[in-house]
Structure 1
Amino acid sequence: MTSPTELAALLCSRLCHDMLSPVGALSNGLELLRDERDPQMRQRCMELLEQSARISADKLKFFRLAYGAAGGFGQDVPVEEPRALVQALLGDNDRIALAWAVGDAMLPKAAVKVLLNLAAIGIDALPRGGNLDIGAERRDGATEIAVRAAGARIAFDRTIGQALEGSLPEDELSGRTAPAHMVRLLAEERGGGLQYALTDGALVMGAVLPDA
């Protein structure tokens, strides 16, 4: 069984992988700025630095709530927060259209973590763009979550699906599959579960998390 320490290490590996590009762009931009003398090129360098800094900050805010213990545990989160984080993760990617259907003003933090991680999986599944539909509601003592990624080409690693459903051997876990493994554990700890379905044109993921 994967220990909490091993899972944390895998999640850190995934975070570092996703942060490498924007942080690397910051480093490269600073090098260019140091040697550049042309005013127009310096202005362009500053714009690229600002963009990379914004992307880095947005990703860190997303991972802080999706992976970490932002604000502690056992409390509700205003739905505007995960919505803003998903929109920030999309950034300037106008190839993906976000449809948000969450009627409740607040959601349990565990449900928000599951929602954010499923949303990230959905975004990764749309390399050529498409539609990302996110819905959630609280009823009958539980939070139900649905995320649908639909597009011309769905890129979905089957091992992520195995991690979601619990059939991936734990010795095959990686930074790529650790978030799916984490949210499955999170759902199961609360007496709930996850499921997914994959077709040629869409990836649909769902979760039910009973209120603690």
Structure 2
Amino acid sequence: MSGPSTPGPAPDALELAALLCSRVCHDLISPVGAIVNGLEVLDDDPKPEDRDFALDLIRKSAKTASARLQFCRLAFGAAGSAGAQIDLGDAQAMARGHIEDGKTSIVWNLPRLLLPKNRVKLLLNMLIIAQQTIPRGGTLTVDPIGEGDTMSFRVTASGLNARLPHNIAELLSASQAPAADAHAVQPYYTRLLAQACGLSVKLAPEGEAVAVTAS
């Protein structure tokens, strides 16, 4: 019987930056590729119905790319100077634009106020993790823990066959450093954000749902 896995070496600053960039590129490649495909259809001098289809594809894909860029800028980027605060109302709008579709919806139970940017970045990254637990879609419910500048969060994911993604719970804890790929770096980055806020993040099943909690 094999023993518990040994944590690997944590990525240095350059590797972490590269992995986060790869993650952002992964999120954008699909809508940007669809825009390119739509433009290629237009370049072929298509029939009117094909032209309408191409324009609709470009329009929807550009909207998706814009929403993902805005979300990633806040979730992974600098988003203001050191010590900056971010409006939770803006975070809600970006989260809905990035996550909500025909399958997944958000119930946002947070008050509208300004919070330190790392806490807001932590919340958005928790939403990404929670979304991964309901691959067939469902509802993400966002609730506050505490109030004011020290508010933390709880995101409950409910949906058909909600499950814990492989290794995510371990990557959120101090027990495992990420593998050198863009998939593992996001939960690891969430852990770093939580530590910067003096918090820890846990991912655990709750009946038929899954909860991501920062406390």
- Give the whole-Å Cα distance in 2 for the aligned partners of 1:19 and 1:117: 17
Decide which of 188, 202, 215 is 1:195's aligned counterpart.
Answer: 202
- Give the whole-Å Cα distance in 2 for the aligned partners of 1:190 and 1:95: 32
> Mapping of 1:36-185 within 5 angstroms?
36-91=45-100, 93-139=101-147, 142-170=150-178, 172-185=179-192
Q: Give unmatched runs, 5+ long, in structure 1.
A: none
Closer, same or farther in 2 for the Cα pair 1:141/1:96, shift >3 Å?
closer
Deviation, 1:105, is 1.6
- Give the whole-Å Cα distance in 1 for the aligned partners of 2:164 and 2:32: 26
- Give the whole-Å Cα distance in 2 for the aligned partners of 1:173 and 1:104: 37
Tell whether the 8 Å contact from 1:99 to 1:134 is kept in structure 2 after alignment: yes
Amino acid at match of 1:55: T
> In the alignment, is residue 9 of structure 1 matched against residue 18 of structure 2?
yes
The one-character-per-residue Cα deviations of 1:55-95 (angstroms, maximum 9, x if unpaired) are: 0111010000100002223122111111011110124x222
Tell whether the 8 Å contact from 2:109 to 2:143 is kept in structure 1 after alignment: yes
Q: Give unmatched runs, 5+ long, in structure 2.
A: 1-9
Tell whether the 8 Å contact from 1:66 to 1:117 is kept in structure 2 after alignment: yes
- Give the whole-Å Cα distance in 1 for the aligned partners of 2:108 and 2:147: 18
Deviation, 1:110, is 0.6
For 2:135, what is the secondary structure of its paired residue?
Answer: coil
For 1:110, what is the secondary structure of its paired residue?
Answer: helix
TM-score (norm 1): 0.89
Amino acid at match of 1:178: V
- In the comparison of the two structures, how many residue pairs are matched? 206
The structure richer in strand per residue is: 1
- Give the whole-Å Cα distance in 1 for the aligned partners of 2:37 and 2:173: 41
Question: Partner of 1:33 in structure 2?
Answer: 42
- Give the whole-Å Cα distance in 2 for the aligned partners of 1:11 and 1:104: 28
Deviation, 1:7, is 0.8
Closer, same or farther in 2 for the Cα pair 1:18/1:200, shift >3 Å?
farther
**After the TM superposition, which of the residue ranges 147-156 and 12-21 deviates more from structure 2?**
147-156
TM-score (norm 2): 0.88
Closer, same or farther in 2 for the Cα pair 1:98/1:140, shift >3 Å?
closer
- Give the whole-Å Cα distance in 2 for the aligned partners of 1:151 and 1:19: 26
Deviation, 1:112, is 0.6
Amino acid at match of 1:47: D
Deviation, 1:17, is 1.2
